[in-house]
Amino acid sequence: MNRALSTLGIVAANELSDSIRSRRVIVMLLLYLAGAMGATALFITFLHSIEGQLVTTLGLDAPKDAGSVTATLWKSKPFRDLLSHLIGEKKLAETLLDVPPLALFYGWLSCAFTPLLVMLTASARISEEIASGSIRFILFRAGRAPWLLGKFAGQAAQLFVALILSALGAWLVGWFRMSGYEGWATAYHMLWFAVKAWIFSLPFLGLALGISQLCALPNLALAFGFMALVGVSVLTGLSNWLAGDGWRRIWDLVNVITPGAHRQSLWWSDAEHLLPATVFLLTLAAVYLFAGYARFARRDL
């Protein structure tokens, strides 16, 4: 057991150092940072435009900076009642209305696009080593399961750093471009959403590495990874649409085994919702990862 854990740690550290040497991790960090900052800047520009139209309609002077009108509107009772009605769950709506708007946007952004970026950066990681033949020398000294878990841990660590960095980048954009900026509250919620997005991304990381174990060509693994991402997303939508009474309850089961079914629970702040969602997502990550390992363990490399 101790040897397996030692192997896992060594492989995870090597995965990080290899990514740094190859500049892969730098590209990954820049991708997340630029994406978050660019999307946040566009959101603030759009917000400023909407606020300008709103105050013009009311016959008021247009605001110089984005955020001033939104901050007032966000705290008004009619607006809060409207959002509670639209969301459907009053307690969840009240929880989200206590979050600064920019942090809420970052939470949506990170959960929406991180799975796509995970597939882009992780789908070919194992297949690259299979294709080059370097995996033969590594597995001569390490068990396949600890090696696989080490690769997963190394990729998960990189992903965590990338998401934290993206949250800081988005926060800085808001700091410079929004008036009445709730700096500390926004920073807290953005970092918390980054952690939640990381948890949500782990099943997709497991899926990417699970597929990567089955392919000898990196490009093929990348293609199958994106196909799997689309398939999982479609299953989530179909199961929500088709679920019902009788035999249609089977779609509830299909829904449970897709990561998207647990995303809404991550919007809550209480342990009653977060803990079950986290357990389900970690379980799905393991299932997806070891589904590929079932073939990888017997594969002649």
What residues pair up with 271 in beta bridges, in sequence order? none
Cα–Cα distance for residue pair 65/93, rounded to 1 Å: 27
Q: How does pLDDT run across 55-111, given as a tens digit for each residue?
A: 555 544 545 555 555 555 556 565 566 566 656 667 777 778 788 888 988 999 999
The mean pLDDT of the chain is 83
Position 172 pLDDT exceeds 50: yes
- Band the pLDDT of 46: cuts 50, 70, 90: confident
Give how far the C-alpha of residue 83 lies from the chain's centroid of Cα atoms, to the nearest Å: 25
Q: How does pLDDT run across 106-154, given as a tens digit for each residue?
A: 999 999 999 999 998 899 889 988 888 888 877 777 788 888 999 999 9
Instruction: Name the token pair of 236.
Output: 């989530």
Cα–Cα distance for residue pair 254/239, rounded to 1 Å: 6
39 exposure class (CB count in 10 Å sphere: 0-12, 13-18, 19+): buried
Q: How does pLDDT run across 225-252, given as a tens digit for each residue?
A: 999 999 998 888 888 777 767 777 787 7
Cα–Cα distance for residue pair 82/201, rounded to 1 Å: 31
Quote the pLDDT of residue 207.
95
Angle (CA) 96 189 116, round 5°: 90
Can you give the pTM of this predicted structure? 0.87
The DSSP call for residue 66 is: B
Which of 50-59, 178-187, 230-239 reaches the highest mean pLDDT? 230-239
Instruction: Name the token pair of 243.
Output: 């679920």
